[in-house]
Structure 1
Amino acid sequence: MNEDKEVKISTTDPDSGYMFREGKPEGFFYLDHRTVDVKYNLITDVFVTAGNVHDATPYLERLDRQRERFDFKVEAVALDSGYLTAPICKGLDSRGIFGVIAHRRFHPTQGLFHKHEFQYDADQNQYTCPQKQALIYSTTDRHGYRHYVSDPKQCAACPMLDKCTRSRNKRKVITRHVWEDSKERVRLNRLSKSGKKLYRKRKETIERSFADAKELHGFRYFRLRGIRNVTEQALMTATVQNMKKIALQLERRELG
């Protein structure tokens, strides 16, 4: 019997969420998901969630909201590694948007072949291991991952078994999401000349926007409790930042 996952709830601010991430402080927080444009660094969207909501969860909905409400013709987006999920890659692909997403560092088991060493054949819908054995399609789980499995009889006699799998049944399993093709296209975008140029802009746009909010506008801590009050502070902070950006652009035009 599977027990329900324990969800920590703050006794002083139930709307907040318990966040635990590597390299980040642990505790109850809110997250500000914001979007900025690459030309003027204006904040075009602000959306606050509890700290235990994954960054990728509200992304496509907020993207569509901006496209519909402001009639933005979004051609490209640059995102950090937290957004490198199959649904987002598929969503960008289906919307005709050039997506550049940072590489997520994986930590495979030491001493075993990496997944990229298994070659995928789309026509045969199967993988081939470094020893040229086929891993055939077995099933698709409820999360959208296809499972490809090897023949344990062949694996048992393979001289590279110790570098391939440590399963007791001597069977290697490779998983591939049904939208993996979209994810691979996003990876190629990141490696392209235009993709590298676009991603470098992140440090000058969204990263700077958050830094300014924290350092110049007291955004490290929320003044009130409750998601409605926190959203109000986030919106007011973004408004002030945008007013400063607009004023600077108007001044440059006059001087130019």
Structure 2
Amino acid sequence: MEVLGVERIDAVADMGYHKGEDIEACEAVGITPYIPRPHRGVNVSNGLFPKERFRYDPAADAYHCPGGQILDTRHSSITRGHVTVQYSSPAACAGCQMKPLCTTGRWRRVNRWEKEHLIERMAERLAKRPDLLLIRRSTVEHPFGTIKQSMNQGAFLMRGLETVRAEFSLTALAYNLRRAITLIGVPRLIRAVQG
């Protein structure tokens, strides 16, 4: 922000490339993140209702399910350093007509991170500006698509962050040299390097 001379920055990333703590840290320093929320989990892969079909009611601290029931039984736990609250209602699920669309278990559980309001606020921002993802895909993804296709870089050969960084750095250098040759030609590139 100092280099650009701005007080706020909008940051856009691919789906799933974030942690809740990152969102919180960005907002604290004036960076507005726009990252799509992934739809993952066993229920989604089994074709059952995703968590997004359940509406959270902050006043009641409960979830409203697609069948009109309220999941208000809460159980807190700490998972990987995060405080997570699990919402359920075994009694409501027992007689629900939509249960086969919702869970294969005896009742549905919905987990909520203690600071999930940050993720929800980000989803609301993104819904108001869906064009950001299109702009990102058409500008940022182009070099990566070209690298994967024309340079036969489908997957990394190395393992571990440092070795993958080195492999990608070499690939990016080769891509940039090829691109420079295409744009300005070899003689101008040599003059620019010597100059």
Measured against the shorter chain, the TM-score band is 0.5 to 0.7
Q: Is the 8 A contact 2:63 2:71 kept in 1?
A: yes
Q: Post-superposition shift, 1:71? A: 6.5
Other-structure match for 1:197: 131
Q: Is the 8 A contact 2:62 2:70 kept in 1?
A: no
Which of 118, 132, 136 is 2:73 aligned to?
136
Q: Is the 8 A contact 1:84 1:104 kept in 2?
A: no
Other-structure match for 1:95: 29
Other-structure match for 2:153: 220
Q: Post-superposition shift, 1:117? A: 3.3
Amino acid in structure 2 at the alignment position of 1:137:
R
Give distance in 2, aligned partners of 1:165 and 1:221: 37
Alignment coverage as a number of residue pairs: 172
Counterparts in 2 of 1:135-174, with a 5 A limit?
A: 135-143=72-80, 144=82, 145-150=84-89, 152-167=90-105, 170-174=106-110
Counterparts in 2 of 1:203-214, with a 5 A limit?
A: 203-213=137-147
Once the two structures are superposed, residues 71-124 of structure 1 have per-residue CA deviations (whole angstroms, 9 ceiling, x without a partner) of 7756112211131543333333333322222453443533x4443332212122
Change (3 A) 1:114 1:87: same
Q: Post-superposition shift, 1:175? A: 0.6
Change (3 A) 1:139 1:239: same
Give distance in 2, aligned partners of 1:134 and 1:103: 22
Q: State, as a whole percentage, how many aligned pairs show the same letter.
A: 21
The two structures, once aligned, show a CA RMSD in angstroms of 3.9
Higher relative contact order by CA 8 Å / sep ≥ 6: 1 or 2? Answer: 1
Once the two structures are superposed, residues 120-154 of structure 1 have per-residue CA deviations (whole angstroms, 9 ceiling, x without a partner) of 1212222233333342221133232321121x344
Change (3 A) 1:173 1:102: closer
Alignment partner of 1:124: what SS? Answer: coil
Q: Which 4+ stretches in 1 moved above 6 angstroms? A: 241-244
Alignment partner of 2:16: what SS? Answer: helix
Change (3 A) 1:210 1:178: same
- Residue 230 (structure 1) aligned with residue 164 (structure 2): no
